[in-house]
Amino acid sequence: MKKGFTLIELLAVIIILAIVALIATPIILDVVEDARKSAAKSEASMILSGIQNYCATEDMKIQMNTLEGEAKCTTPISKANVASMVNLGNAEMKSDVTITDGKYTFTVESNGYSITVTNSVIPTSYSKAS
């Protein structure tokens, strides 16, 4: 008696594996995209926190009279200044930071997504970077 599998049995197993792969691939790709979006959102959030911390520290120095001048965060902050005060990670500043009534607005690009932060809130919608 011969041991082994017939050609039909092997083809059936290959077809079943192909069907499983076809079902699993879109799910895996969605997980990867969600991870990229999450990383972009996290980096935008860290940049926002860094800017807020920098502004609070500089304003506190002025209030304690250890630094002279006006409050640092009442005028726009350039992209270069943001890069010097915050570790941008994989992100890239696409606009200067504008400040209106204590609310920050800027655009950052990270992991292939462009995120615009307005009113000091990280958005839940993203756009693909061009």
> What is the pLDDT confidence band of residue 22, given thresholds at 50, 70 and 90?
very high
Domain ranges within the chain, ordered by starting residue: 8-128
Angle at 60 between CA 54 and CA 66, to 5 degrees: 110
> What is the pLDDT confidence band of residue 57, given thresholds at 50, 70 and 90?
confident
Is residue 34 predicted with pLDDT exceeding 70?
yes
Placement of tokens 């809130």 in the chain: 121
**Per-residue b/e over 108-121, b at no fewer than 16 CB within 10 Å?**
bbbbebbbbbeeee
Quote the CA–CA distance of 105 and 120 in Å, as a whole number. Answer: 7
Contact 74, 100 (CB under 8 A): no
